[in-house]
Amino acid sequence: MQLFDVRFSTDDLLNRIWKLVQFFALAGFAGNGDHLSSTNSNGFALSYAVGQYFIVWVHAPNKTSRSPIMFYMAANFVSFILWWTSAFIIELLSDQARYSIWFGAIAIEVITNIALANNAIVSFVRSHLPERLGLFTLIILGESIMGLFVVTDDLVDAPGKLSWDNLTLLIFSITIIKCQWFLYFDDYHEQCPVRSSIHSTLWTYLHFMLNMSQLLLGVGCLDLIRIYQLTKEPTSIPVPHHLKRELIYPDEATGSGSLAESSKGPNFIVGGGEEGPSHELILLYVKKYYLIVAASVFFWNAAIKYVTSRPGDKYDRAIYVSRFFMSFVVLCLLLVEHQRLGAFTLLGLEVGFCLLQVGHDLLVLYYAARKDFENRVIL
C-alpha cells in the first residue's frame, strides 16, 4: 500500500475512509496467516484480494496520472481476480496449484511496477519512500527486540532460569539485531538511487526481501534460545507455534517431503533426554533456517548497497562485495554437521560475523569521508 501512497495519496477525507477499509483487509490478511499452508487459507486469499480491489478503487479517479495508472489498475485487478478465485476453489487446488496462482498474481504486480519504472509520472523520485522504508525497517528491528524482552521476562519470572548461559544467549541476540541497525542505517541513503528509475524500483523491492530476512532472523534467535531451554528442561518454555504446526502436527504440514514426515503425532515432546527423530528434526530445522536467513540478511544488504552505489566508486564496491562474501561464508556453515552447531556456536559466530562486517563498513566509510574532505579542501 505504501508504494501507492507515497505517489498518489490525496490525504483527503474519502482517501482516509478507503485507507481504513484497507487496514481491515490487512488485519484479516495477518489474522489468517496461520492458515497459509492449509485448505483453510481462503480467508488469507480473500483479505489480500480485498486489499488489491481497494488499491484499484482508491486510485482510479487520479486524473494527473491517468495513463500509467491504468496499467497499475489492470495489473491489480487481474491479481484481485486470481486471489478471489483461489479463495472459492481452495478445496480443489493442490498446494502447488494454490501457490502457483498466488505467486503468479504477485509476479504480475511486480513486473508491472518494474515496467513502469521509467515513467516520470509514477516514478519514486522526490517521494518520501526512503523515509517510510527506513521507519518500517526500524519497526521490524524493534519487534525483534520486543520478542527478546518477552523471553527475558519469562526467564526472570522463573527462579534460577536467568543463569549466565541464558544471559549470554540474550546478549548475543541483542547484539545481532543491533548490528542489523548498523548495517542499514550507518550508510543510509535519504534518496532513492539516482542512476536510473529501474534501480529505484529494484531498491524498493529489495527492501521487502531485506525486511523479511530481518524479521526471520529475530525469530531464529528466539527459536535458538527456546530450543536451548527445551533441551535443558523439557517443560520450561512452550514449543514455538510455527514449529508445532510444521513438525509436531504433520497433517497440517505443507505437502510431502517436508521435515514433518518423521513425526508421528502430537504426543511427541521436545527434549527430555530423548534423541528421537522428531527432536533431531526440530534442531536441524531451526539451525538450517537460521543460517539461511542470517546469510540472506547480508545478501540483501549487499544488494541494496549495490543499487545505491555510485558508478566506479571503489569504497561502495568494497562494502557490497564484502557483504556478498560474508553471506557466502555463513551459507558454508550449512556443510558443518548440525551436532557441532549449538545455540552458543551459531549465535556467537553470527555476532562475530556481524561485528566484523560493521567494523569493515565503518572503516571504509571513514576513509571515503576522509578522501571526500581532502578533495574539497584541494578545490
For the chain, the structural domain boundaries read 2-122, 129-378
**Which comes out higher in pLDDT, residue 199 or 264?**
199
Q: Is the pLDDT of residue 207 over 70?
A: yes
Torsion of CA 224, 225, 230, 231, to 10 degrees: 70
pLDDT confidence of residue 327: 96
DSSP symbol at 379:
-
The cell numbers describing 147, all together, are 520478542
295: pLDDT strictly greater than 90: yes
Confidence of residue 100 (pLDDT cuts 50, 70, 90): confident
Rounded to an integer, what distance in angstroms lies between the CA atom of residue 379 and that of residue 365? 21
Torsion of CA 289, 292, 298, 304, to 10 degrees: -100
pLDDT digits over 4-33, tens only?
A: 666 666 666 766 776 777 666 666 666 655
| pLDDT (average), residues 241-247 | 53
pLDDT digits (tens, 9 = 90+) for 163-172: 788 888 889 9
Q: Are 357 and 183 in contact (CB under 8 A)?
A: yes
Over the stretch 140-150, which tens digit does the pLDDT of each residue have?
Answer: 999 888 888 88
Give dist(CA 17, CA 22) in Å, integer: 9
- The confidence score (pLDDT) of residue 214 equals 93
User: What does the pLDDT read at residue 356?
Assistant: 96
Beta carbons within 8 Å of 13's beta carbon, 6+ residues apart? none
Average pLDDT over residues 70-95: 76
Give residue 242's pLDDT. Answer: 56
Under the banding of pLDDT at 50, 70 and 90, the label for residue 267 is very low
Residue 253 has pLDDT above 50, yes or no: no
Over residues 115-137, the mean pLDDT reads: 74
**CB-based contact 176:347 (threshold 8 Å):** yes
Per cent of the chain over pLDDT 70 is: 62
In the prediction, which pLDDT does 279 show?
64
> What pLDDT is attached to residue 115?
78
Confidence of residue 125 (pLDDT cuts 50, 70, 90): low
pLDDT recorded at residue 263: 38
User: Which pLDDT score, from 0 to 100, does residue 123 have?
Assistant: 66
Return the pLDDT at 204: 81
Does residue 248 surpass a pLDDT of 60? no
d(CA 222, CA 259): 20
Predicted local distance difference test score (pLDDT) of residue 277: 46
Q: Chain-wide mean pLDDT for the chain?
A: 74
